[in-house]
Amino acid sequence: MSKTQNIQVCLVSDLFSNYTLSKNCIVVVVDLLRATSVISTAFHYGVKEVIPVSTLDAAKKYLNKLNTIVAAERNAESIDGFDYGNSPFQYMNNDIKDKTLVLTTTNGTKAIQIAKDYHVITASFINIDAVAKYLLDSDRDILILCSGWKGVFNLEDSIFAGHLINQLISIKEMNINCDSVLVSLELFKNAKGDYFQFLANSAHRKRLKHLNIEKDTIFCLNPDISSKIIPVLKNGKLEKLNL
Ligand code: MLT
């Protein structure tokens, strides 16, 4: 008899330490615009592993290493001196195949580090179906960790959380005793599937539009690729989860 899984949402990664989690809880990190969408895209195009690092200095140490791509983003912009930035379109090529990707972003890689002592996987709309199946089959408690933006709430990660939760509870009863789950579901329902429109006035969509990279928003909200790969954190590296 499978136990009723407990599900929670942490709306901003800085609040993660306030949550009480069971030892085997699965932490699903999402930074929809764009870090976890980039991670899913990179794995889809054949990258071997992703090393998330918190600082630019930590990332610099990997520059010029063999079979390694070093990518950096701050405030949604690429950083000079690094191989790649944080646009999923940069990873849609065969050059990255079998390479190690070292990635540092403003929020997404920070959220992964915050949760590193738990069983961490990363999610996006690219791998959401595989993630949902894995979570349902796991019989483990779940916490969806929204990266947010520099310590404050963002809409896109929370809508994704609501979308994923809706997918889960449509199939299996879950134990919900977390208002952040309820608000994520309300956001999901109010967006009525048109996330791009719903996010019209959101801070990060406007930020990316201002930088002329709204195509990244359009892709991350409704990707034209789908992947069964679930990145899982092991010894500080995101690897493909062996299912
Ligand atoms: C982040 O990690 O904060 C975001 O992915 C920022 C971005 O690259 O848009």
Q: What does each of the 243 residues of the chain score in pLDDT, given as a tens digit? A: 667 999 999 999 999 999 999 999 999 999 999 999 999 999 999 999 999 999 999 999 999 999 999 999 999 999 999 999 999 999 999 999 999 999 999 999 999 999 999 999 999 999 999 999 999 999 999 999 999 999 999 999 999 999 999 999 999 999 999 999 999 999 999 998 899 999 999 999 999 999 999 999 999 999 999 999 999 999 999 999 998
Nearest CA to ligand 1 atom 9: 76
Please work out whether the CB of residue 105 comes within 6 Å of at least one atom of ligand 1.
Answer: yes
Which of these, 89, 84, 16, 10, lies nearest to 50 by C-alpha position? 84
Residue 189 tokens read as 């329902």
- Look at residue 70 and give its three-state secondary structure: strand
* CA 85 to ligand 1: nearest atom: 8
Please work out whether the CB of residue 13 comes within 6 Å of at least one atom of ligand 1.
Answer: no
Q: Which of 73, 91, 101 to mutate for ligand 1's pocket (most ligand atoms within 8 Å of CB)?
A: 73
- Which residues, in sequence order, are CB contacts of 92 under 8 Å at separation 6+? 41, 45
Contact 98, 46 (CB under 8 A): yes
- Ligand 1 mean position to 168 CA, how many Å? 26
- Look at residue 59 and give its three-state secondary structure: helix
pTM above 0.85, yes or no: yes
* CA 109 to ligand 1: nearest atom: 2
Q: Which of 31, 41, 87 to mutate for ligand 1's pocket (most ligand atoms within 8 Å of CB)?
A: 31
- Ligand 1 mean position to 106 CA, how many Å? 6
Please work out whether the CB of residue 158 comes within 6 Å of at least one atom of ligand 1.
Answer: no
In angstroms, the CA 100 to CA 213 distance is 25
Please work out whether the CB of residue 205 comes within 6 Å of at least one atom of ligand 1.
Answer: no
Residue 179 β-bridge partners: none
* CA 37 to ligand 1: nearest atom: 5
- Ligand 1 mean position to 58 CA, how many Å? 17
pLDDT at residue 96, rounded to an integer? 97
pLDDT at residue 33, rounded to an integer? 98
pLDDT at residue 1, rounded to an integer? 62
* CA 149 to ligand 1: nearest atom: 3
User: What is the dihedral angle through the alpha carbons of 239, 240, 241, 243, rounded to the nearest 10 degrees?
Assistant: -160
In angstroms, the CA 6 to CA 25 distance is 9
Please work out whether the CB of residue 111 comes within 6 Å of at least one atom of ligand 1.
Answer: no
* CA 208 to ligand 1: nearest atom: 9
Angle, helices 214-221 vs 203-210, to 10°: value is 140
Please work out whether the CB of residue 35 comes within 6 Å of at least one atom of ligand 1.
Answer: yes
